Structure 1
Amino acid sequence: MRSTAGSTAPTGPVRPDLPGRVRRFSTAERWVHRTTGYLMLVCLATAACLYLGPLAQLVGRRHVMIFLHEWSGILLPLPFLLGLLSTDFRADLRRLNRFAVYDRQWLRAVRRRRKEPEARPAGKFNAGQKIYAGWIAGAVLVMMFTGLLMWFLGLLPFISRTSAIFVHDLVAWAITIAVLGHMRKAYEDPEARLGMRTGYVSRSWAEREHSRWLGE
Protein backbone atom coordinates (compact mmCIF):
# COMPACT_ATOMS: atom_id res chain seq x y z
CA MET A 1 0.00 0.00 0.00
CA ARG A 2 1.31 3.45 -0.88
CA SER A 3 0.21 6.80 0.32
CA THR A 4 0.25 10.04 -1.63
CA ALA A 5 -0.56 13.46 -0.17
CA GLY A 6 2.94 13.86 1.17
CA SER A 7 3.15 10.69 3.26
CA THR A 8 6.65 9.94 4.47
CA ALA A 9 5.80 6.48 5.75
CA PRO A 10 7.61 3.54 4.12
CA THR A 11 5.68 1.72 1.43
CA GLY A 12 6.12 -1.73 2.88
CA PRO A 13 3.98 -3.18 5.69
CA VAL A 14 6.94 -3.92 7.99
CA ARG A 15 9.83 -1.66 9.02
CA PRO A 16 13.22 -3.26 9.80
CA ASP A 17 13.78 -0.79 12.67
CA LEU A 18 10.46 -1.76 14.28
CA PRO A 19 10.62 -5.55 14.65
CA GLY A 20 7.33 -7.19 15.52
CA ARG A 21 5.29 -4.19 14.35
CA VAL A 22 3.08 -3.84 11.29
CA ARG A 23 2.05 -0.68 9.50
CA ARG A 24 -1.68 -0.07 9.94
CA PHE A 25 -2.24 3.53 8.81
CA SER A 26 -0.34 5.87 6.52
CA THR A 27 0.40 9.50 7.33
CA ALA A 28 -2.48 10.66 5.14
CA GLU A 29 -4.95 8.33 6.87
CA ARG A 30 -3.89 9.49 10.32
CA TRP A 31 -4.12 13.12 9.23
CA VAL A 32 -7.68 12.63 7.96
CA HIS A 33 -8.75 10.92 11.19
CA ARG A 34 -7.10 13.48 13.48
CA THR A 35 -8.35 16.55 11.58
CA THR A 36 -11.88 15.18 11.31
CA GLY A 37 -11.82 14.41 15.03
CA TYR A 38 -10.74 17.95 15.93
CA LEU A 39 -13.43 19.50 13.74
CA MET A 40 -16.06 17.17 15.20
CA LEU A 41 -15.07 18.05 18.77
CA VAL A 42 -15.20 21.78 18.01
CA CYS A 43 -18.61 21.32 16.42
CA LEU A 44 -19.97 19.37 19.40
CA ALA A 45 -18.39 21.63 22.02
CA THR A 46 -19.74 24.82 20.44
CA ALA A 47 -23.14 23.17 20.02
CA ALA A 48 -23.18 22.45 23.77
CA CYS A 49 -22.32 26.09 24.46
CA LEU A 50 -25.26 27.19 22.31
CA TYR A 51 -27.76 24.56 23.44
CA LEU A 52 -27.18 24.22 27.19
CA GLY A 53 -28.19 27.32 29.13
CA PRO A 54 -25.77 27.10 32.10
CA LEU A 55 -22.83 26.39 29.78
CA ALA A 56 -23.86 29.25 27.46
CA GLN A 57 -23.89 31.66 30.41
CA LEU A 58 -20.50 30.41 31.60
CA VAL A 59 -18.79 30.72 28.20
CA GLY A 60 -20.63 33.74 26.78
CA ARG A 61 -19.53 35.17 23.41
CA ARG A 62 -22.47 33.59 21.62
CA HIS A 63 -21.55 35.13 18.25
CA VAL A 64 -18.09 33.50 18.44
CA MET A 65 -19.63 30.13 19.31
CA ILE A 66 -22.04 30.41 16.37
CA PHE A 67 -19.19 31.27 14.00
CA LEU A 68 -17.03 28.34 15.18
CA HIS A 69 -19.98 25.94 15.11
CA GLU A 70 -21.06 26.85 11.59
CA TRP A 71 -17.61 26.75 10.04
CA SER A 72 -16.38 23.64 11.83
CA GLY A 73 -19.50 21.92 10.46
CA ILE A 74 -18.97 23.22 6.93
CA LEU A 75 -15.29 22.20 6.97
CA LEU A 76 -16.02 18.73 8.38
CA PRO A 77 -16.04 16.96 4.95
CA LEU A 78 -12.81 18.69 3.84
CA PRO A 79 -10.33 16.19 5.38
CA PHE A 80 -12.29 13.36 3.78
CA LEU A 81 -12.18 15.04 0.34
CA LEU A 82 -8.43 15.72 0.63
CA GLY A 83 -7.92 12.15 1.85
CA LEU A 84 -9.22 10.88 -1.48
CA LEU A 85 -5.84 11.91 -2.92
CA SER A 86 -4.31 9.05 -0.93
CA THR A 87 -4.40 5.54 -2.38
CA ASP A 88 -4.26 4.11 1.15
CA PHE A 89 -7.29 6.13 2.20
CA ARG A 90 -9.27 5.05 -0.86
CA ALA A 91 -8.34 1.43 -0.18
CA ASP A 92 -9.64 1.76 3.38
CA LEU A 93 -12.91 3.24 2.09
CA ARG A 94 -13.36 0.15 -0.07
CA ARG A 95 -12.75 -2.03 2.99
CA LEU A 96 -15.27 -0.08 5.05
CA ASN A 97 -17.89 -0.39 2.32
CA ARG A 98 -17.51 -4.16 2.03
CA PHE A 99 -19.47 -6.26 4.53
CA ALA A 100 -18.16 -9.85 4.43
CA VAL A 101 -19.47 -13.12 5.83
CA TYR A 102 -16.98 -13.02 8.69
CA ASP A 103 -18.35 -9.59 9.69
CA ARG A 104 -21.70 -11.24 10.43
CA GLN A 105 -19.82 -13.82 12.47
CA TRP A 106 -18.15 -10.99 14.40
CA LEU A 107 -21.54 -9.43 15.18
CA ARG A 108 -22.94 -12.76 16.36
CA ALA A 109 -19.96 -13.22 18.67
CA VAL A 110 -20.48 -9.73 20.13
CA ARG A 111 -24.17 -10.42 20.77
CA ARG A 112 -23.25 -13.67 22.53
CA ARG A 113 -20.44 -11.90 24.44
CA ARG A 114 -17.80 -14.23 23.07
CA LYS A 115 -14.32 -12.69 23.25
CA GLU A 116 -12.13 -15.44 21.83
CA PRO A 117 -10.13 -14.13 18.83
CA GLU A 118 -11.24 -17.04 16.63
CA ALA A 119 -14.90 -16.16 17.32
CA ARG A 120 -14.40 -12.58 16.17
CA PRO A 121 -12.64 -12.67 12.79
CA ALA A 122 -12.05 -9.24 11.28
CA GLY A 123 -10.28 -7.65 8.36
CA LYS A 124 -8.57 -4.31 8.76
CA PHE A 125 -11.83 -3.01 10.23
CA ASN A 126 -14.26 -5.09 12.25
CA ALA A 127 -18.02 -5.04 11.68
CA GLY A 128 -18.60 -2.54 14.47
CA GLN A 129 -16.16 -0.07 12.95
CA LYS A 130 -17.77 -0.46 9.53
CA ILE A 131 -21.23 0.22 10.94
CA TYR A 132 -19.98 3.22 12.91
CA ALA A 133 -18.19 4.70 9.87
CA GLY A 134 -21.25 4.34 7.65
CA TRP A 135 -23.59 5.73 10.28
CA ILE A 136 -21.44 8.74 11.17
CA ALA A 137 -20.95 9.62 7.50
CA GLY A 138 -24.72 9.64 6.93
CA ALA A 139 -25.35 11.58 10.14
CA VAL A 140 -22.84 14.28 9.17
CA LEU A 141 -24.60 14.74 5.82
CA VAL A 142 -27.94 15.13 7.61
CA MET A 143 -26.40 17.67 10.00
CA MET A 144 -24.91 19.68 7.13
CA PHE A 145 -28.20 19.65 5.22
CA THR A 146 -30.34 20.74 8.16
CA GLY A 147 -27.72 23.24 9.27
CA LEU A 148 -27.73 24.91 5.85
CA LEU A 149 -31.53 25.04 5.96
CA MET A 150 -31.31 26.86 9.29
CA TRP A 151 -28.55 29.17 8.04
CA PHE A 152 -30.14 30.07 4.72
CA LEU A 153 -33.80 30.60 5.50
CA GLY A 154 -36.05 29.86 2.53
CA LEU A 155 -33.53 27.57 0.83
CA LEU A 156 -36.27 24.93 0.62
CA PRO A 157 -39.57 26.66 1.43
CA PHE A 158 -41.49 23.39 1.80
CA ILE A 159 -39.31 22.42 4.80
CA SER A 160 -39.94 24.57 7.85
CA ARG A 161 -37.11 25.90 10.00
CA THR A 162 -38.74 24.26 13.03
CA SER A 163 -38.51 20.84 11.35
CA ALA A 164 -34.87 21.44 10.41
CA ILE A 165 -34.02 22.45 14.00
CA PHE A 166 -35.79 19.38 15.41
CA VAL A 167 -33.92 16.96 13.13
CA HIS A 168 -30.62 18.83 13.64
CA ASP A 169 -30.89 18.64 17.43
CA LEU A 170 -32.02 15.02 17.45
CA VAL A 171 -29.17 13.84 15.21
CA ALA A 172 -26.71 15.98 17.20
CA TRP A 173 -27.57 14.07 20.38
CA ALA A 174 -27.21 10.76 18.53
CA ILE A 175 -23.80 11.81 17.18
CA THR A 176 -22.67 12.88 20.65
CA ILE A 177 -23.56 9.47 22.08
CA ALA A 178 -21.88 7.65 19.17
CA VAL A 179 -18.68 9.74 19.38
CA LEU A 180 -18.45 9.24 23.15
CA GLY A 181 -18.85 5.50 22.61
CA HIS A 182 -16.14 5.59 19.94
CA MET A 183 -13.79 7.46 22.29
CA ARG A 184 -14.51 5.02 25.12
CA LYS A 185 -13.64 2.04 22.92
CA ALA A 186 -10.43 3.77 21.84
CA TYR A 187 -9.52 4.49 25.46
CA GLU A 188 -9.97 0.81 26.30
CA ASP A 189 -7.54 -0.24 23.53
CA PRO A 190 -4.13 1.49 23.89
CA GLU A 191 -2.68 -0.47 20.97
CA ALA A 192 -5.40 0.81 18.63
CA ARG A 193 -4.65 4.39 19.76
CA LEU A 194 -0.94 3.79 19.19
CA GLY A 195 -1.70 2.58 15.68
CA MET A 196 -3.60 5.78 14.91
CA ARG A 197 -0.89 7.93 16.50
CA THR A 198 2.21 6.30 15.00
CA GLY A 199 0.78 4.23 12.14
CA TYR A 200 2.14 0.94 13.53
CA VAL A 201 0.70 -1.81 15.74
CA SER A 202 2.17 -4.93 17.25
CA ARG A 203 1.88 -8.12 15.23
CA SER A 204 0.39 -9.92 18.24
CA TRP A 205 -2.42 -7.32 18.48
CA ALA A 206 -3.10 -7.61 14.76
CA GLU A 207 -3.29 -11.40 15.02
CA ARG A 208 -5.70 -11.14 17.94
CA GLU A 209 -7.99 -8.33 16.72
CA HIS A 210 -7.66 -8.30 12.90
CA SER A 211 -6.36 -11.68 11.87
CA ARG A 212 -7.79 -11.57 8.35
CA TRP A 213 -6.18 -8.21 7.67
CA LEU A 214 -2.80 -9.50 8.84
CA GLY A 215 -3.24 -12.44 6.47
CA GLU A 216 -3.49 -10.02 3.57
Structure 2
Amino acid sequence: MTSTAGWTGPTGRSERRVPRFTRAERLVHRATAGLMLLCVGGAACLYFSPLAQLVGRRHLVVVVHEWSGILLPVPFLLGLASSAFRADLRRLNRLAQYDKEWLRAVRKRWTAPGLRPAGKFNAGQKIYSGWIAGAVPIMMFTGLLMWFSGLLPVISRTSAIFVHDVTALAISLVVLGHIRLAYRDSQARRGMRTGFVELAWAKREHSKWVQED
Protein backbone atom coordinates (compact mmCIF):
# COMPACT_ATOMS: atom_id res chain seq x y z
CA MET A 1 0.00 0.00 0.00
CA THR A 2 1.27 3.46 -0.83
CA SER A 3 0.05 6.64 0.77
CA THR A 4 -0.44 9.79 -1.24
CA ALA A 5 -0.13 13.46 -0.43
CA GLY A 6 -2.87 14.51 1.95
CA TRP A 7 -5.92 16.67 1.49
CA THR A 8 -7.23 19.25 3.90
CA GLY A 9 -9.68 17.54 6.23
CA PRO A 10 -12.60 19.01 8.17
CA THR A 11 -10.23 20.02 10.98
CA GLY A 12 -8.22 22.14 8.57
CA ARG A 13 -5.11 19.98 8.78
CA SER A 14 -3.53 17.92 6.02
CA GLU A 15 -4.43 14.22 6.21
CA ARG A 16 -2.50 11.47 4.48
CA ARG A 17 -4.62 9.17 2.39
CA VAL A 18 -4.29 5.75 0.81
CA PRO A 19 -6.01 4.23 -2.25
CA ARG A 20 -8.78 1.77 -1.35
CA PHE A 21 -10.94 1.15 -4.42
CA THR A 22 -10.29 1.60 -8.13
CA ARG A 23 -12.71 3.34 -10.45
CA ALA A 24 -13.86 -0.03 -11.83
CA GLU A 25 -14.66 -1.32 -8.34
CA ARG A 26 -16.61 1.81 -7.48
CA LEU A 27 -18.62 1.58 -10.69
CA VAL A 28 -19.47 -2.06 -9.99
CA HIS A 29 -20.65 -1.13 -6.50
CA ARG A 30 -22.75 1.80 -7.71
CA ALA A 31 -24.38 -0.15 -10.53
CA THR A 32 -25.11 -3.12 -8.26
CA ALA A 33 -26.49 -0.83 -5.54
CA GLY A 34 -28.73 0.93 -8.04
CA LEU A 35 -30.15 -2.31 -9.42
CA MET A 36 -30.62 -3.71 -5.91
CA LEU A 37 -32.53 -0.60 -4.81
CA LEU A 38 -34.73 -0.85 -7.90
CA CYS A 39 -35.49 -4.48 -7.04
CA VAL A 40 -36.29 -3.73 -3.41
CA GLY A 41 -38.25 -0.59 -4.25
CA GLY A 42 -40.24 -2.39 -6.93
CA ALA A 43 -41.02 -5.26 -4.57
CA ALA A 44 -42.21 -2.80 -1.91
CA CYS A 45 -44.54 -1.14 -4.40
CA LEU A 46 -45.95 -4.51 -5.46
CA TYR A 47 -46.53 -5.91 -1.96
CA PHE A 48 -47.66 -2.89 0.07
CA SER A 49 -51.03 -1.49 -0.96
CA PRO A 50 -50.42 2.14 0.14
CA LEU A 51 -47.23 2.30 -1.94
CA ALA A 52 -48.92 0.54 -4.86
CA GLN A 53 -51.75 3.09 -4.84
CA LEU A 54 -49.30 5.97 -4.53
CA VAL A 55 -47.10 4.85 -7.44
CA GLY A 56 -49.72 3.25 -9.68
CA ARG A 57 -48.55 1.87 -13.07
CA ARG A 58 -48.36 -1.65 -11.69
CA HIS A 59 -47.33 -3.17 -15.03
CA LEU A 60 -44.39 -0.75 -15.34
CA VAL A 61 -43.31 -1.51 -11.77
CA VAL A 62 -43.43 -5.24 -12.52
CA VAL A 63 -41.29 -4.80 -15.65
CA VAL A 64 -38.72 -2.66 -13.81
CA HIS A 65 -38.59 -5.15 -10.94
CA GLU A 66 -38.11 -8.14 -13.25
CA TRP A 67 -35.43 -6.62 -15.45
CA SER A 68 -33.47 -5.02 -12.62
CA GLY A 69 -33.34 -8.48 -11.05
CA ILE A 70 -32.16 -10.12 -14.26
CA LEU A 71 -29.50 -7.45 -14.80
CA LEU A 72 -28.24 -7.62 -11.20
CA PRO A 73 -25.29 -9.97 -11.94
CA VAL A 74 -24.15 -7.92 -14.97
CA PRO A 75 -21.99 -5.36 -13.08
CA PHE A 76 -20.30 -8.22 -11.23
CA LEU A 77 -19.55 -10.09 -14.46
CA LEU A 78 -18.19 -6.94 -16.13
CA GLY A 79 -16.11 -6.22 -13.03
CA LEU A 80 -14.24 -9.49 -13.49
CA ALA A 81 -12.27 -7.76 -16.25
CA SER A 82 -10.59 -5.68 -13.50
CA SER A 83 -7.63 -7.30 -11.75
CA ALA A 84 -8.25 -5.15 -8.65
CA PHE A 85 -11.85 -6.39 -8.49
CA ARG A 86 -10.73 -10.01 -8.79
CA ALA A 87 -8.13 -9.47 -6.06
CA ASP A 88 -10.79 -8.09 -3.73
CA LEU A 89 -13.04 -11.07 -4.48
CA ARG A 90 -10.24 -13.35 -3.31
CA ARG A 91 -9.95 -11.30 -0.13
CA LEU A 92 -13.69 -11.53 0.48
CA ASN A 93 -13.65 -15.28 -0.12
CA ARG A 94 -11.17 -16.05 2.68
CA LEU A 95 -11.68 -15.88 6.43
CA ALA A 96 -8.39 -15.35 8.27
CA GLN A 97 -7.63 -16.15 11.89
CA TYR A 98 -7.93 -12.49 12.83
CA ASP A 99 -11.47 -12.43 11.42
CA LYS A 100 -12.48 -14.71 14.29
CA GLU A 101 -10.99 -12.16 16.69
CA TRP A 102 -13.00 -9.42 14.98
CA LEU A 103 -16.25 -11.39 15.35
CA ARG A 104 -15.50 -12.14 18.99
CA ALA A 105 -14.80 -8.45 19.67
CA VAL A 106 -18.07 -7.43 17.98
CA ARG A 107 -20.04 -10.03 19.91
CA LYS A 108 -18.60 -8.78 23.20
CA ARG A 109 -18.90 -5.12 22.11
CA TRP A 110 -15.19 -4.39 22.43
CA THR A 111 -14.44 -1.06 20.77
CA ALA A 112 -10.88 -0.26 21.88
CA PRO A 113 -8.33 0.20 19.04
CA GLY A 114 -6.58 -3.04 18.09
CA LEU A 115 -9.30 -5.33 19.45
CA ARG A 116 -11.04 -5.59 16.08
CA PRO A 117 -8.28 -6.61 13.63
CA ALA A 118 -9.31 -6.68 9.98
CA GLY A 119 -7.79 -6.93 6.55
CA LYS A 120 -9.07 -4.80 3.67
CA PHE A 121 -12.50 -6.18 4.53
CA ASN A 122 -13.59 -7.09 8.03
CA ALA A 123 -15.34 -10.35 8.88
CA GLY A 124 -18.77 -8.71 8.80
CA GLN A 125 -18.24 -7.46 5.26
CA LYS A 126 -17.03 -10.91 4.18
CA ILE A 127 -20.10 -12.61 5.64
CA TYR A 128 -22.40 -9.99 4.10
CA SER A 129 -20.89 -10.36 0.62
CA GLY A 130 -21.04 -14.16 0.82
CA TRP A 131 -24.67 -14.08 1.92
CA ILE A 132 -25.67 -11.70 -0.88
CA ALA A 133 -23.75 -13.81 -3.41
CA GLY A 134 -25.85 -16.80 -2.38
CA ALA A 135 -29.19 -15.01 -2.07
CA VAL A 136 -29.16 -13.27 -5.47
CA PRO A 137 -29.09 -16.52 -7.54
CA ILE A 138 -31.96 -17.86 -5.41
CA MET A 139 -33.96 -14.71 -6.14
CA MET A 140 -33.21 -14.94 -9.86
CA PHE A 141 -34.10 -18.65 -10.04
CA THR A 142 -37.37 -18.34 -8.15
CA GLY A 143 -38.22 -15.14 -10.01
CA LEU A 144 -37.82 -16.91 -13.36
CA LEU A 145 -40.06 -19.74 -12.12
CA MET A 146 -42.71 -17.16 -11.25
CA TRP A 147 -42.25 -15.32 -14.55
CA PHE A 148 -42.30 -18.42 -16.74
CA SER A 149 -44.85 -20.74 -15.15
CA GLY A 150 -44.16 -24.37 -16.03
CA LEU A 151 -40.46 -23.77 -16.66
CA LEU A 152 -39.68 -26.46 -14.07
CA PRO A 153 -42.84 -28.49 -13.44
CA VAL A 154 -41.40 -30.32 -10.40
CA ILE A 155 -41.38 -27.00 -8.49
CA SER A 156 -44.80 -25.39 -8.05
CA ARG A 157 -45.28 -21.68 -8.58
CA THR A 158 -46.59 -21.42 -5.01
CA SER A 159 -43.32 -22.81 -3.65
CA ALA A 160 -41.29 -20.45 -5.83
CA ILE A 161 -43.33 -17.47 -4.60
CA PHE A 162 -42.85 -18.48 -0.96
CA VAL A 163 -39.06 -18.85 -1.27
CA HIS A 164 -38.82 -15.66 -3.34
CA ASP A 165 -40.80 -13.61 -0.82
CA VAL A 166 -38.95 -14.91 2.26
CA THR A 167 -35.54 -14.37 0.63
CA ALA A 168 -36.59 -10.90 -0.55
CA LEU A 169 -37.56 -9.93 2.99
CA ALA A 170 -34.22 -11.20 4.33
CA ILE A 171 -32.29 -9.31 1.63
CA SER A 172 -34.19 -6.10 2.38
CA LEU A 173 -33.32 -6.30 6.08
CA VAL A 174 -29.66 -7.11 5.40
CA VAL A 175 -29.32 -4.31 2.82
CA LEU A 176 -30.89 -1.82 5.23
CA GLY A 177 -28.37 -2.91 7.86
CA HIS A 178 -25.55 -2.45 5.33
CA ILE A 179 -26.76 1.07 4.50
CA ARG A 180 -27.08 1.93 8.19
CA LEU A 181 -23.51 0.85 8.94
CA ALA A 182 -22.19 2.73 5.91
CA TYR A 183 -24.05 5.86 7.00
CA ARG A 184 -22.31 5.70 10.37
CA ASP A 185 -18.82 5.55 8.82
CA SER A 186 -17.98 8.59 6.72
CA GLN A 187 -14.54 7.22 5.80
CA ALA A 188 -16.03 4.02 4.39
CA ARG A 189 -18.39 6.11 2.26
CA ARG A 190 -15.51 8.36 1.17
CA GLY A 191 -13.50 5.30 0.11
CA MET A 192 -16.35 4.10 -2.10
CA ARG A 193 -17.05 7.60 -3.41
CA THR A 194 -13.52 8.84 -4.14
CA GLY A 195 -11.38 5.70 -3.95
CA PHE A 196 -9.24 7.06 -1.09
CA VAL A 197 -9.39 6.91 2.71
CA GLU A 198 -7.39 8.49 5.50
CA LEU A 199 -4.33 6.49 6.51
CA ALA A 200 -5.23 6.92 10.19
CA TRP A 201 -8.66 5.34 9.57
CA ALA A 202 -7.11 2.46 7.65
CA LYS A 203 -4.70 1.76 10.49
CA ARG A 204 -7.49 1.86 13.05
CA GLU A 205 -10.22 -0.09 11.23
CA HIS A 206 -8.19 -2.31 8.85
CA SER A 207 -4.82 -2.71 10.51
CA LYS A 208 -4.00 -6.03 8.81
CA TRP A 209 -4.64 -4.48 5.41
CA VAL A 210 -2.09 -1.74 6.13
CA GLN A 211 0.45 -4.34 7.30
CA GLU A 212 -0.15 -6.74 4.40
CA ASP A 213 -0.08 -4.15 1.62
State TM-score, norm by structure 1: 0.93
Structure 2 spans left out of the alignment, 5+ residues = 8-14
Match of 2:114 among 118, 127, 136: 118
Separation in 2, partners of 1:80, 1:103: 25
Partner of 1:195: 191
**Number of residue-to-residue matches in the alignment:** 205
Which one-letter code corresponds to 2:19 in the other structure?
Answer: R
Q: Matches of 2:40 and 2:3 in 1, distance apart?
A: 37
Structure 1 unaligned runs (5+)? Answer: 1-11
Output the CA distance in 1 between the equivalents of 2:105 and 2:83: 32
Deviation of 1:54 (Å): 1.4
Corresponding position of 2:72:
76
Cα deviation code 1:69-106 (max 9, x no counterpart): 00000000000000000000000000000100000010
Q: Please tell me the root mean square deviation across aligned C-alpha atoms, in Å.
A: 1.1
Q: What is the distance in 1 between the residues matched to 2:172 and 2:201? A: 29
| Distance (whole Å) between structure 2 residues aligned to residue 59 and residue 14 of structure 1 | 48
Q: What does residue 176 of structure 1 align with?
A: 172
- 2:101 aligns with 105
Structure 1: how far apart are the matches of 2:39 and 2:122?
A: 27
- 1:111: how far off? 0.6
SS in 2 for 1:21: strand
Distance in 2, Cα, partners of 1:51 & 1:146: 17
2:10 alignment partner in structure 1 = none
1: distance between equivalents of 2:151 and 2:39? Answer: 22
How much identity, in percent, do the aligned residues show? 67
- Choose which of 145, 151, 154 in structure 2 pairs with 1:149: 145
Taking the aligned partners of 1:127 and 1:159, their CA distance within structure 2 comes to: 35
Q: Supply the distance in 1 between the matched residues of 2:102 and 2:175 (Cα, whole angstroms).
A: 21
Q: Does 1:140 align with 2:125?
A: no
Note the C-alpha offset of 1:13. 3.6
- Whole-angstrom distance in 1 between the partners of 2:111 and 2:137: 34
CA distance in 2, matches of 1:50, 1:95: 37
1:206 matches 2:202: yes
Give a deviation string over 1:5-47, Cα, whole Å, max 9, x none: xxxxxxx743346561000000000000011000000110011
**What secondary structure is seen at the aligned counterpart in 1 of 2:21?**
coil
SS at match of 1:117: coil
Change (3 A) 1:17 1:191: closer
- State how far apart, in whole Å, the 2-side matches of 1:43 and 1:117 are: 38
CA distance in 1, matches of 2:35, 2:4: 32
Give, in whole Å, the separation in 2 of the partners of 1:103 and 1:45: 33
Residue number in structure 1 paired with 2:4: 15
Alignment of 1:11-90 (within 5 A): 13-16=2-5, 18=7, 20-90=16-86
